[in-house]
Structure 1
Amino acid sequence: MPSTAEKRATFRKLHESGCFVIPNPWDVGSAKALQGMGFKALASTSAGLAWSIGKADNHITLNDVCDHLTALCAAVDLPINADFENGFADEPDGVAANVSRAAKTGVAGLSIEDSTGDKAKPLYDRRLAIDRIRAARKAIDDDRSDVLLVGRCEAFLWGMPDLKLTIDRLQAYADAGADCLYAPGLKSKDDIAAVVKAVHPKPFNLLIGWPGLSVAEAADLGVRRISVGGALARAAWGGFFRAAKEIAEKGTFDGLGTGHPASELNAIFSG
């Protein structure tokens, strides 16, 4: 097992060139399975974690997340990027304290969102959002943890598809110390290309949670890394519900025939 420092160094190296995929496991088993498929890094998913413990997205606690991240980091040899939501605090001091705690789980990267969770006011005020990123940066630097900081603008996810606002915020987060920028919800090639150009030379993370762009197409747009958020967890739940509903509604079990072979699952987890 590589050391935490080695994982972090490997993760930073991945961001220097090319395009790589960091799929999002929701538990230790899915993390180990993805590691076995040859991915170079993984990212947690707050939604996937929430569903796995019977909670709705955005209803997990700081303790839930830190326990989960500790387990993921201990289970695999790969660097883990943490979906750390809004830092589980509104004010910069709280964000800083929680980022320091998250760094102790062994993560190689960590993202901070600018969404408030309030539909009436979905994004933090610009100045506060920047100060939150700056506080996260200082916490990482003070701890000398070398955790890669990702600044996220959530405008497109919260019904605010304003490209100018998104670019302005991402550039400000880069200036405040974010190592990588992320704007989930972008779908058009023109929008993606515009954001990649605007944040250059900082790397940009693209969310692909639906059929559409391929890795090659994203790479051609200049995307450095691709994550899938809760999409793999949703795919797994889709198979579960299709099979379970068939049993409940029809009394038949045909859907169970589509499951992954037990022998292969045992082989994956026998190491």
Structure 2
Amino acid sequence: MTDLTAALRALHHGRRPDDPLILPGPWDAGSARMLADAGFPALATPSAGIAASLGVADGEVPADEMFAVVARIARAVPVPVSADLEDGYGLPPAELVERLLESGAVGCNLEDTDRHTGGMVDAREQADRLAAVRAAAGDALFVNARIDSYLHGAPAEDALERARLYAAAGADCVFPILAPPERLAEIGKAAGLPVNSIAKGDEFTPTRLGELGATRITFGPGLHRRTMAALATIAGDLR
């Protein structure tokens, strides 16, 4: 386990409910440097933000290009970087872990939506894949297991069952994307792990999400979109 991995793992534990870990999402080396210089202790790349910065839709960035972007980000900053690797690009677990660690990242998101079919991977099949990733990585990688039950309209019990299975498989954190904030604590209890929530806007501030059970807050492509909106305003003023 590297010092950066240990630091990332430690940031998820011992937190007060009103102080969740804020992990902003850089899409390139420049945005990563800016966020690290602002004092954030770790960063989490968003696949959708990186895709948008490359001019393609989310899910259309080839694995080689995604790892190259992640490597540039990780080289640019002294803080731990976690990478959104979508569904793992079909790579064997050992190769996925090797390429991720070679990039300099020390954490990853792995989701249970199949990018080819658009449907959810069977829960036990996904748990087996997470277990294989854990076996290949040992403790060198912080694994954030994304749970897409709410994204697909599955019953709430599906999210709880996946949380249990993924925790047993060796995940470090679970990420029930689009889960209602009031369900976060229940999911965290089922997993016995930290819970990632995506930022929800003014109604549910990071502090409020922390009080409801979120250990860490990420932003998906939100920061990239806000930056592009600011640039559009600047461009309009220039004209």
TM-score in same-fold range (> 0.5): yes
C-alpha distance in 2, partners of 1:117/1:152?
14
In structure 1, C-alpha distance between the alignment counterparts of 2:130 and 2:35, rounded to whole Å: 30
Count of residue pairs the alignment pairs up? 235
Are 1:25 and 1:44, in contact at CA under 8 Å, matched by a contact in 2? Answer: yes
- Tell me: CA distance 1:140–1:222, structure 2 relative to 1, closer, same or farther (3 Å): same
Point out where structure 2 has 5 or more consecutive residues left out of the alignment: none
Matches within 5 A, 1:1-271: 5-18=2-15, 19-89=20-90, 94-118=92-116, 122-141=119-138, 146-157=140-151, 159-186=152-179, 188-200=180-192, 202-244=193-235, 253-254=236-237, 256=238
SS in 2 for 1:104: helix
RMSD: 2.0
Following superposition, the deviation at residue 95 of structure 1 comes to: 3.3
Cα distance, 1:161 vs. partner? 4.7
More relative contact order in 1 or in 2 (CA 8 Å, sep 6+)? 2
Q: Secondary structure at the match of 2:143?
A: strand
Amino acid at match of 1:197: K
Q: Residues 100 and 106 of structure 2 are in contact (CA less than 8 Å); yes or no, is this contact kept in structure 1?
A: no
How far does residue 198 in structure 1 lie from its aligned partner after superposition?
A: 1.8
What is the deviation of 1:47?
0.8
Q: Which has the larger radius of gyration?
A: 1
| % identity of equivalent residues | 30
CA contact (8 A) 1:79 1:108 kept: yes
CA distance, structure 2, for counterparts of residue 160 and residue 118 of structure 1: 19
**Structure 1 residue ranges (4+ consecutive) displaced by more than 3 angstroms after TM superposition:** 240-244
Normalising by the residue count of structure 2, what TM-score does the alignment of the two structures yield? 0.91
SS of residue matched to 2:93: helix
Spell out, residue by residue over 1:87-144, the C-alpha distance to the aligned partner (whole angstroms, 9 max, x if none). Answer: 111xxx723322221122111211211101256x510122221111111111102xxx
So what's the TM-score if we normalise by structure 1?
A: 0.80
Equivalent residue letter for 1:108: V
